[in-house]
Chains A and B, each alone.
Chain A
Amino acid sequence: MPLLTEELKTWIGREVTYAAREELGRASIRYFALAIDDENPLYQDEGYAREAGFSGVIAPPTFVVETCQYAHRPPNANGYIGHSWDLPVSGCRMIRGGNDYEFIRPVLASDRVSVTWTLEDIVERKSRLGGTQLFVTSVGRYYDNAKDLIAVNSETLVYQPLRGEP
C-alpha cells in the first residue's frame, strides 16, 4: 500500500499563518545564543551591535527560522507547539531531511514576526533501507511588523515507516 495516498495528495498547497504575540526580545536572543554556545557580542551588547552598523542587538542568523515563538497553542501529545500539518500518516517516524534558508536582513529584538507556511510537495521515494519513505516539503515565509519579508525557510521532513523495532 503506498504511503502517498489520494487523501494525502489533497494536502499539497495548504497554507496557514501564525502571528507572534510579542517581539522576539533581547532575552530570547541571548537565551538562544547561550544554547548554541555563541558568545558573539552582536547578540547581547547593544553598543557593540551599533558600532557594527546595526540599530541594536541582532539575532544569530538562523534564530528566526528555528524558534516556534510565533505559535500560541497547547503542546501536542509529543510536546510540540510549533507549526505542523498533522498529516494523516501512521506507523512512521518523522526525521529532518534538510533546510534551505534565505535571509533578507538581520533580525532585531524588536521584530514581531508572522510566518506563513505552505505545503509545497509530498513525494514518495525508495529508501536505501528497502521500502519507501515520504518526503514532505514545506516553505515558511517570515514577515516583520511592516509585513516585509525577512526570511524564507524551505524544510523537508521525512516520514520513515517503523519496522517493528522494540
Chain B
Amino acid sequence: MIAATKTAAGLRPGDAMPKARKTFSSANLVMYGAATWDWHRLHHDDAFAHKMGLPAPVIDGQIYGALFAKQATGWLGPKAFVRRLSFRMRSMAFAGDTLHMAGQVSQILTEEDCPIVVLSQQLTKDDDIVAEATTEVRLPD
C-alpha cells in the first residue's frame, strides 16, 4: 500500500516541515557528481579548490535543489507533484560541512481546481543561510 498524500484541507500557512540534517563527506560529493555525470574538480579536488581561493571542495549547489525537492515530496506524499522550485545561494558550503534543513508552508493556492501548496525552505550552516527555496507543489483534489 502506498503512503498517504497530504491534502490542502489538512495544511495551514505556517505549518512546519520536518527538520533534517546532513553532513557532506567527500564520498557524498563524489557520489552526487557521478550520479549527475558531473566530474568537475571543484567538487572533489582539494588542490584545485585551494587554487580557486576556497578552503575545500565546494558542495555542488545543484544538490540543494534535489534536497529541497526530497524534503517536500517526502513530507507531502507520493501523489504530490513539484511544479516549480526556485532556489538562491546565500553562502558557500564545503566538504565536511553539516547543513540543516527546515521549511514552512507559506501559502495555499488553488489553480485550475488544483490545490497548490507553496513552501518556503532553508538550508543553514551554523547560523548562516546557505540556500533558500520557494517550492510550489500540486496536491491531488
Seen from chain A, the residues whose Cβ lies within 8 Å of a Cβ on chain B are: 28, 31-32, 34-38, 40, 42, 48, 51-53, 60-63, 65-69, 71, 75, 78-82, 93, 95-103, 106, 162-163, 165-166
Are B73 and A68 in contact (CB-based, < 8 A)? no
**B72 nearest CB across to chain A (Å):** 8
Determine how close the nearest CB of chain A comes to the CB of B62; give it in whole angstroms.
Answer: 5
- Point out residues on B near A: beta carbons under 8 Å: 1-2, 22, 28, 31-32, 34-42, 45, 48, 50, 52-54, 58, 60-63, 65-67, 69-70, 73-74, 78-79, 81-89, 92, 131
Question: Contact check: which of A31, A81, A163 meets B35 at CB < 8 Å?
Answer: A31
User: Could you tell me the distance between the alpha carbons of A61 and B2 in the complex, rounded to whole angstroms?
Assistant: 18
- Say whether B89 contacts A162, CB under 8 Å: no
Cβ B81 vs Cβ A106 within 8 A: yes
Q: Which residues of A contact B45 (CB under 8 A)?
A: 79
A66 in contact with B62 (CB, 8 Å): yes
Q: Is the CB of B2 within 8 A of A165?
A: no
Which residue of the partner chain, among B2, B35, B48, contacts A28 with CB atoms under 8 Å? B35
**Contact B62–A99 (Cβ < 8 Å):** yes
Contact of B86 among A66, A67, A78, A98 (CB under 8 A): A98
Could you tell me the distance between the alpha carbons of A127 and B37 in the complex, rounded to whole angstroms? 31
Check A52–B39 contact: CB distance below 8 A. Answer: no
Whole-angstrom CA separation of A101 from B65 in the bound complex = 9
Chain A residues, CB < 8 A from B35:
28, 31-32, 34-35, 67
B52 to chain A, nearest CB (A): 5
Q: Which of chain A's residues has its CB closest to B53's CB?
A: A165
**Contacting residues, chain B, for A166 (C-beta < 8 A):** 50, 53
Query: B119 to chain A: closest CB distance in Å?
Result: 13
B89 & A97 in contact (Cβ 8 Å cutoff) = yes
Instruction: Check if A96 sits within 8 Å of B36, measured CB to CB.
Output: no
B132 → A minimal CB distance (Å): 9
B17 CB, nearest partner CB in chain A, Å: 15
Are B58 and A99 in contact, CB atoms less than 8 angstroms apart?
Answer: no
Check A60–B66 contact: CB distance below 8 A. Answer: yes
Across the interface, do B70 and A60 meet the contact criterion of CB distance under 8 Å?
yes
Question: What are 29 A-B pairs with beta-carbon distances under 8 A?
Answer: A31-B34, A35-B28, A36-B32, A36-B66, A37-B22, A38-B74, A52-B78, A53-B79, A60-B69, A60-B73, A61-B69, A62-B66, A62-B69, A62-B85, A68-B36, A71-B37, A79-B40, A79-B45, A80-B38, A80-B39, A80-B40, A93-B53, A96-B62, A96-B89, A98-B88, A99-B62, A100-B84, A101-B84, A103-B85
